């Protein structure tokens, strides 16, 4: 079983990298960009019997820093 963990900065947390990307897009002439937020995607290859709560535990204990980040888990059952 595979799972994807999307890690994003909480709203309200300043994202300097997103800002820099935004500037660079504008520099390239893309004018319609209102905002950019950068995050992380972590792909996990898991034993089939891994429970949802275990994946969530992985996120809380290591993959995300919940002081500043949110996470979302997407399971790819047939992968």
x/- map, 23-62, other proteins, by CB under 8 A: --------------------------------------xx
40-49: list long-range contacts, CB under 8 Å, 24+ apart. Answer: 40/6, 40/7, 41/4, 41/5, 41/6, 41/7, 42/4, 42/5, 42/7, 43/2, 43/3, 43/4, 43/5, 44/2, 44/3, 44/4, 44/5, 45/1, 45/2, 46/1, 46/2, 46/3, 47/1, 48/1
Closest contact distance (angstroms) between CB of 77 and other proteins is 26
Closest contact distance (angstroms) between CB of 59 and other proteins is 12
- Applying CB under 8 A, the residues found at the interface with other proteins are 13-14, 16-17, 20, 61-63, 65, 67-68
């Amino acid at each position: 079983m595979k799972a994807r963990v999307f890690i994003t900065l909480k709203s309200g947390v300043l994202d300097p990298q997103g800002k820099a990307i935004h500037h660079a897009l504008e520099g390239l002439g893309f004018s319609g960009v209102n905002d950019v937020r950068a995050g992380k995607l972590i792909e996990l290859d898991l034993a089939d019997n891994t429970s949802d709560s275990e994946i969530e535990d992985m996120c809380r204990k290591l993959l995300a820093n919940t002081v500043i980040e949110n996470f979302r888990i997407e399971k790819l059952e047939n992968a």
